[in-house]
Amino acid sequence: MAAVTVGPPPARRRGRRHLPVWHVLWIIVAGAYFLVPIISLVQFSFGGLVNGHSAGFHWYATVFADPNFRSSFWLSVQIAIETVVLSNLLLIPTTFWIHLRLPRLRPVMDFVSVLPFVVPPIVLIVGLIPFLTPFTFLYSRPEVLAFIYVVFALPFLYRSLDAGLRAINLRTLAEASANCGGSTWSTLVRVVLPNLRSAVIVGSFLTVAIAMGEFTISSLLSFNTFPVYLFNIGQTTGNEAAALSVISLLLTWALMVSLYLVGRGGRTTAQVAATR
Amino acid sequence: METAQAPGAVRSDAPATTGAGARAVRWRPGGLRWLGVVPLTAYLAFFLIIPAGELVVDAFRTPNGAFTLGNVSTIFQAQYLSSFGASLELSALAALLGGVLGLLAASAIVHPSAPRLIRSSVTTFSGMAANFAGVPLAFAFTSTLGATGVITVAFRHAGISLAAINPNATTLGLALVYNYFEFPLMLLLLVPALDGLKREWREAAANLGAGGFTYWRTVAFPILLPSLLGAMVLLFGGAFSAYATAYALSGSTGNLVTELIGNLTNGNITVDPQLAYALAFGMMIIITLLMVVYYLLQRRASRWLR
């Protein structure tokens, strides 16, 4: 910290010319911390020898030729879509209703949206297994994952929607809509929802990121989702697992970049929603 | 005017959609609007609250359903205490690393002379890095610092062993992996707090003769401390409850509480349910305590930084 030597009077002008050396060093160290593992991963995904030749895109080709890759990836995509639809159906009307008619519940919702952190996946699954076992029709199908992921998506989607609703003057919009003869339902669908578009999209992308990357629950319930498939490959072929990880990383980044582009119109806060 | 009514008191056969609820409100502005929160409440009850609650109850029950303290006392056996110890040690290391690295990097990018471009690109990239976790992250670090990792091999050629930070076998290595997503999270949490430091405070300190270091030690750091500690508590909790990354790195040999629960639960059936309940219950207690500390620190932090 001693490097922050901003002298008294012309502090800002002097400081503007050069960034203290220590700070430049820190930014470089931090950059290396993030880039080196990715570079190593990419290097591994092209690594090894195949029939005496360097591998090139061999591992990527192997991945894409594997029917298990396609089926596990498709399963994860399906579950992600189901999670997004379910969580939006549940949360958009409820958040809207709370803002409009039950504002006193907002602190309660803030508390509720913290609960999934108190009960992390590895804890929740211990309680869920005995509880869900009797509901065989749900428990035996992969759709059960979507129902569980809604719980983990709740804090992120709720916060996104809550911030979106705070940013618009809901009361005025609702009154204007009522004066024009609109019911509460049409106020939600035709007036509020268009204003919430970027909040819904941002929250939904985060939900996709959660559902596509979730490993704990799906592996412990023995469903072959994409992260579970990736883990299993990693137990046998390191290079192929590296190639798969690169694919997964690129997908996450594509999600985050599009999220950033959507959010740019309004808030530009970065979003964090991975499951660990 | 408003007659509050418990959601439970509502007729269960009434339509639960907001649309119907909304029309109902017009002729009866009382309790029916609570119907709007019934779907979410019911959903969370089914998938979160009842399973978690049952877990807590089951932690105090024998397989026959009789009350017992036996399960919970089991986790005080040396073997399980060492698991909790390992998890807590890992979380403390990860939080400490994240706290120090995050503060240094955050203060570098909010520095008035830092170009705008650095700031925006660092925060954007942090958002991406913080979302890179779980199994792929584990493989990335195995290819970097694992036994045959790129960096490990390079250092070995130079005669330096990196075995002390092997992510597949050491706590420090695992803490480094966790910091891949925790450090950027710290950065994202701290940048707003650092922005909240008013320039007037720095000027006032300078007018009183304080240099850069004195200003940091006596003004900025005390004001930032609750935010810093609060963010570190979040990192601690994140590392404590993480499972996927650790499991992908160490396989079934890991000794963390989360890995232990995973091993007990693997394969659709719980091998020793009573022990799993008790361990999960222990984790919930620790995380709840962390949340209370976080809440108190948040309150403290908001006093100066709004």
Nearest-Cα residue of chain A relative to residue B239: A276
- Which has the closest alpha carbon to A6: B202, B207, B218? B202
pTM, to two decimals: 0.84
Highest mean pLDDT among A111-115, A177-181, B202-206, B231-235: B231-235
**Pairwise CB contact (< 8 Å): B268 & A272:** no
Q: Give pLDDT tens digits along chain B (306 positions).
A: 334 444 434 433 444 444 444 444 444 456 778 888 899 999 999 999 999 999 999 999 888 888 888 888 988 988 899 999 999 999 999 999 999 988 888 888 887 777 778 777 777 777 777 777 889 999 999 999 988 888 999 999 999 888 888 888 899 999 999 999 888 888 888 888 888 888 888 889 889 988 878 888 888 888 888 889 999 999 999 999 999 999 999 877 788 999 999 988 865 455 678 899 999 999 999 999 999 999 898 888 877 765
Q: Is B159 left (phi over 0), alpha (psi -120 to 50) or beta?
A: left
Residue B43 to residues A88, A122, B13, B51, Cα–Cα distance (Å): 13, 20, 16, 12
Whether the CB of B305 is below 8 Å from some CB of chain A: the reply is no
Distance CA B67, CA B77 (A): 20
Rounded Cα distance between A211 and A141, Å, is 16
Which of A73-82, A227-236, A255-264, B248-257 is least confident? A255-264
What's the pLDDT score for residue B87? 95
- CA distance, residue B202 to nearest chain A CA (Å): 9
Q: What share of chain B is helix, strand, coil (3-state, %, to 5)?
A: 75, 0, 25
Give the one of A219, A238, A274 whose C-beta lies nearest to B133's C-beta.
A274
Instruction: Name which of A6, A61, A104, A71 is nearest A232 in CA terms.
Output: A71
pLDDT > 70 fraction of chain A, expressed in percent and rounded: 88
Is the Cβ pair B108, A27 closer than 8 Å?
Answer: yes
CA distance B70 to chain A (A): 18
- Rounded to a whole number, what is the distance in Å from the CA of B276 to chain A's nearest CA? 7
Residues of chain B contacting A38 with CB distance shorter than 8 Å: 140
Cα separation, B204 vs B219, in Å, equals 10
* 8 Å CB contact of A276 and B242: yes
Q: What is the pLDDT of residue B270?
A: 57
Which DSSP category does B211 fall into?
-
CB contacts < 8 A (A, B): 309
Q: Which pLDDT value is given to residue A272?
A: 60
CB nearest to A119's CB, from B52, B111, B123: B52
| Residue A252 pLDDT grade (very low, low, confident, very high; cuts 50, 70, 90) | confident
Q: Pick A270's closest partner by Cβ from B54, B111, B123.
A: B123
Is the separation of the CB atoms in A114 and A120 below 8 Å?
no
Distance from CA of B181 to the nearest CA of A (A): 9
Q: Which of A128, A228, A239, A272 to mutate to test the interface with B (most CBs of B within 10 A)?
A: A272
For chain A, what percentages of helix, strand and coil (3-state, to nearest 5) are there? 75, 0, 20
Residue A268: pLDDT over 50 = no
Asked if B33's CB is within 8 angstroms of A101's CB, the reply is yes
State how far the alpha carbon of B32 is from the alpha carbons of A7, B17, B22, B269, B294, in Å: 64, 11, 9, 42, 36
**What is the pLDDT at residue A9?**
42
Q: Which of A18-32, A238-252, B175-189 has the lowest mean pLDDT?
A: A18-32
Q: Count CB atoms within 10 A of the CB of residue B275.
A: 18
Tell me, what amino acid is at A264?
R
Three-point CA angle B238, A80, B266, nearest 5°: 55
Quote the mean pLDDT of chain A. Answer: 84
DSSP A3: T
A222-253 in b/e form (b: 16+ CB < 10 A) is ebbbbbbbbbebbeeebbbbbbbbbbbbebbe
Closest in A4, A93, A248 to B212, CB measured: A4
CA distance B16 to chain A (A): 11
Q: Hey, are the CB atoms on B244 and A276 less than 8 Å from each other?
A: yes
What single DSSP character describes residue B49? I
Which range has the worst mean pLDDT, A39-48, A145-154, A254-263, B233-242? A254-263
Contact yes or no for A119 and B245 at CB 8 A? no
Q: In what helix (H) or strand (E) does residue A54 lie, and over which residues does it extend?
A: strand A53-54
pLDDT tier at A274, thresholds 50, 70, 90: low
Regarding predicted confidence, which is higher, A152 or B34?
A152
One-letter amino acid at A193 equals: L
Cross-chain residue pair B136–A184, CB shorter than 8 Å: no
Residue A53: strand, helix, or coil: strand
Question: Token pair for residue B27?
Answer: 């002729």
CA angle A139, A143, A146 (to 5 degrees): 110
* Cα separation, B162 vs B272, whole angstroms: 38
